[in-house]
Amino acid sequence: MATDDTIIDHLKKEIPVDEESLLLNPDSSVGLVIVDVVNGFCTVGSGNMAPTKPNEQISKMVEESARLAREFCDRKWPVFAFLDSHHPDVPEIPYPPHCIIGTQEAELVPGSFLSLSVSC
């Protein structure tokens, strides 16, 4: 059986990840994780993986994510947003190119999260 270090090293080689450290307030026992609420998946016509027409389920998910993020920020609880982003020269088979780093596809859905403080 592989050791944890070996598994982590293997994953780092296979999955390009930018690592950042973040210190949390030791008084925080809850937090919110938002995953892939980006234009490339949620905004009509914003890319290969985006909806081609308005989608009520996606709209509700974005609205609820933003509502929860505001509530957590108001309570000074941490909010983490993971944004799908890919290097242009690294295919993600079987998916078409999407959410390329530096494009609007890889950005949070506009308007929904703009009022949130980055430091919350």
Of 82, 98, 69, 70, the closest CA to residue 20 belongs to 82
User: pLDDT value at position 91?
Assistant: 86
Contacts of 90 (CB under 8 A, 6+ apart): 16
Contacts of 10 (CB under 8 A, 6+ apart): 2
Domain residue ranges in the chain: 30-120
Per-residue pLDDT of the chain (120 residues; tens, 9 = 90+): 556 667 877 777 777 666 677 677 777 778 899 999 999 999 999 999 999 999 999 999 999 999 999 999 888 888 888 889 999 998 888 999 999 999 999 999 987 665 555 544
Angle, vertex CA 41, rays to CA 10 and CA 98, nearest 5: 55
Chain-centroid distance of CA 21 in Å reads 16
Residue 65: Cβ-neighbour burial (10 angstroms; 0-12, 13-18, 19+):
buried
Model-level pTM?
0.73
Q: Name the DSSP letter for residue 81.
A: E
CATH number of 30-120: 3.40.50.850
